[in-house]
Amino acid sequence: MDFLIATHNMKKRNELARILEPLGINVLTAEQAGIELTDVEETGETFEENARLKAVSGCRESGMPCVADDSGLCVDALGGAPGVYSARFAGEHGNDALNIEKLLKELAGVPEGKRTARFVSSVCCAFPDGSEITSRGTCEGEIGFAPRGNGGFGYDPVFMVGEKSFGELSPEEKDKLSHRGNALRAFAENLAYVRLTETTVPKAVRYTLVSKSLNSSKAVLSHLCSTPLSSSESTASSAQSFSAVCEEHLQKATIISATLCENTLSPRAFCVLHEAVRAVISSCSSVARLIRISVFSSGER
């Protein structure tokens, strides 16, 4: 089955194709499909809004399922900038070198440990019947002090994950970690559910899929909650608060999962609730990150 991707960026097209090919989906650019698409003005205030604008427009003009993403870099020290303006941060759309140069100038004097940032990606697929699927993915990291590596595109050379920049990772390594990879995997899962030929998702299938996802997340969060950050009283209090918040979110995820597994749901309703599970689990990860940054910044770790 052919899907159109609303981008002229072949690197994005290839990244999308690598993840969707196992579902039997052939990803085409407008040029490959012999279609001329209108350039959509990204007037949305969020990544989700911009992704939807492009997907709906591409679907309407082509008559094909159309996938679009909007992604960007959010830097904590810059109040979340450049955000939805990432591609045109320096004024000229898509000039990676100028965007990176401006970013590093804006962060001049900001020390290591205070340069936290995340890549965010929202993927939307619009179908000719009017239905849509949307997913979101993030990747946490820090901004380096100089570009490293020749791979990737955009801000990849200055986005550090551990000891390497995205620009130093192989495509396969990047796919496993990246915001777009995470968003596309969630999208692929939702698409697989929606493409089930039955009018409802079988209970056995729902139970297996959701339980596997939830149990895996519980194991990770349980480890985070039980890992001491230090022996200091204030840090122990932070860790205890973190554990309580995680437990609250896990209870919410468990309740939603029970709904997923026990009730008769359409594939689309299943997707919506499954995204809710992902959201509460993502909240736990955010709490973990904030507490560990707080502890690091206070010098207790």
Residue among 18, 42, 63, 50 at smallest CA distance from 180? 18
Phi-psi region of 188 (alpha: psi -120 to 50; beta: other; left: phi over 0): alpha
Question: Catalytic residue numbers?
Answer: 70
Which residues are bridge partners to 66 per DSSP? 4, 126
Please give the Cα distance from 57 to 68 (Å, whole number).
10
Token reading at 82: 């450049």
Please give the Cα distance from 67 to 203 (Å, whole number).
29
Instruction: Please state at what angle helix 233-262 crosses helix 267-297, rounded to 10 degrees.
Output: 180
Residue 263 neighbours by CB under 8 Å, 6+ apart: none
